[in-house]
Amino acid sequence: MWSNLQILLQAPAFGVDLAVNGVLVGAVFALVAFGMALVWGVMNVINVAQGELVMLGGYVTWLVSRLGVNPFAGLPVSMAVLFVVGWLMYRIVVFRVVDRDMFISVLATFGLGILLAQLINQVFGSDLRTASPDLGTLLFMNGIVSVGVVKLAAFVLALLVGVLLWLFIKFSRLGQAIRATAQNPRAARILGVETDHVFAFTFALNAALCGAAGSLAVMAYTIHPYIGLPYTVRSFMIVVTAGVGNLPGVVVAGLGLGVAENFAGFLLGAQFQVAFVFLLMVLVLVVRSRLLRHQRKYLE
């Protein structure tokens, strides 16, 4: 670990490489977390199948690329297909657990996640898939900092999708209904908002976001049927850190997590890269529950 730290101190360019690549992957994390925060905030459901939706989106784009089309064309296709998948998931399963205890919705979506992962494994096998558009690599600082062009593109697209969604929620009529439902579903219902419809749309929208993230992941990285859980854990951790209603916080936490993971992998060794995410999550939960306890005391 110290020798690795010395590398960073002597040649900070490697730190730049880690940071840049971390920020790029972090944007994909942030996109998934954005969707999770949306569903969590509006429906009070923690969607544990979040990562599986990402995986599904990746497979759609991969299929599109196999038709000989540029994988970037798979992005809207993934979003559209996942929108439908999300809508179906809501209509078949999720609507039954919306008003119930959160634990039940966690179990239900966990089950859905397992189902999706096994289904994909059954159909496509457990092989690693990638649909790289082969755009080459940009090298900076004597070749030490390498940035895959496709990663850069994924970063920009992730931010773009996020911003568009934010604008939609802020300014469209349906977006207003979504926000109203998030604030108080009962009052919204009384005022004529069809909350069931809003829930279905929100869940479908989240699935489409995950579809976009998966599409970017299969182009810039790799996917296989079991990548779901790390994505779910990451997005859970991002949302918990940032807070459910805090969109800029989600973006910052997402990018920060990407960077932190890369540095942890470099300094502590790859074996601790994923472990580090879990550790960070425990820390965040401890700190947050401390803070909340303080708030409660203050209220008494």
Partner 1 sequence: MRSRLAVAAVAAFGLFAATAYAATDTITLGAAVSLTGKYSINGKYTRDGYNLAVKRINDAGGLKVGDKTYKLEVKYYDDESTPARAAQLAERLVDQDGVKFVLGPYSSGLTKAMAPVTERYKVPMVEANGASRSLFTKGYKYLFAVLSTSDQYLSSAVDLMDEQVEKNGGDPSSVKIAGAFQNDPFSQDVRQGVVNEGKQYGMRMVIDDQLPPQLDDMSATLTKVKALKPDLLTVSGHAKGAILAVNQIAEMKVHADMIAMTHCDSAGIIKKYGKNAEYILCASQWDRSLAYKDDLFGSAEDFAELVEKEYGYAPPYQVAESAAAVEVYADAFERAGSLDPRKVRDALAATDTQTFYGNIDFNDQGENIAKPMVLYQVQDGEYKVVAPTKWAASKVRYPIPPWSER
Q: Which residues bind partner 1 (CB under 8 A)?
A: 4, 7, 11, 14, 17-18, 21, 25, 118, 121-122, 125-128, 130, 132, 137, 139, 143-144, 146, 148, 221-224, 226-227, 229-230, 261-266, 269-271, 273-275
> Cα-atom radius of gyration of the chain, to the nearest Å?
20
Which run of H or of E encompasses 249? helix 247-268
- What angle (nearest 5°) sits at the alpha carbon of residue 156, between those of residues 153 and 158? 105
Q: What's the closest the beta carbon of residue 225 comes to partner 1, in angstroms?
A: 8
Q: Which two tokens stand for residue 231?
A: 């994505």
Closer residue to partner 1 in complex, CB, 271/295: 271
Q: What's the closest the beta carbon of residue 231 comes to partner 1, in angstroms?
A: 10
- What angle (nearest 5°) sits at the alpha carbon of residue 142, between those of residues 138 and 143? 40
Return the DSSP state at 272: G
Q: What's the closest the beta carbon of residue 175 comes to partner 1, in angstroms?
A: 33
- Identify any residues that bridge with 146 across adjacent strands, giving them in sequence order: 139
Closer residue to partner 1 in complex, CB, 19/88: 19
**Nearest in space to 195 (alpha carbons), one of 176, 182, 181:** 181
Closer residue to partner 1 in complex, CB, 199/266: 266
The residue written with tokens 């939960």 in the block is 285
Q: Are 75 and 215 in contact (CB under 8 A)?
A: yes
- Separation CA 64–CA 80 (nearest Å): 13
Closer residue to partner 1 in complex, CB, 229/285: 229
Q: Which two tokens stand for residue 81?
A: 């297909």
Closer residue to partner 1 in complex, CB, 230/249: 230
Q: What's the closest the beta carbon of residue 269 comes to partner 1, in angstroms?
A: 5
Q: What's the closest the beta carbon of residue 176 comes to partner 1, in angstroms?
A: 38
Q: What's the closest the beta carbon of residue 188 comes to partner 1, in angstroms?
A: 40
Q: What's the closest the beta carbon of residue 83 comes to partner 1, in angstroms?
A: 25
Return the DSSP state at 137: E
Closer residue to partner 1 in complex, CB, 253/264: 264
**Nearest in space to 250 (alpha carbons), one of 237, 260, 259:** 237
Q: What's the closest the beta carbon of residue 139 comes to partner 1, in angstroms?
A: 7
Q: Which two tokens stand for residue 111?
A: 């089950």
Closer residue to partner 1 in complex, CB, 143/293: 143
E-only strand ranges, the chain? 137-140, 145-148
Q: Report the interhelical angle of 50-66 vs 74-92 (nearest 10°).
A: 140
Closer residue to partner 1 in complex, CB, 86/228: 228
Residue 228 has a CB neighbour count (10 Å cut-off) of 26
Calculate the CA 204 to chain-centre distance.
Answer: 14
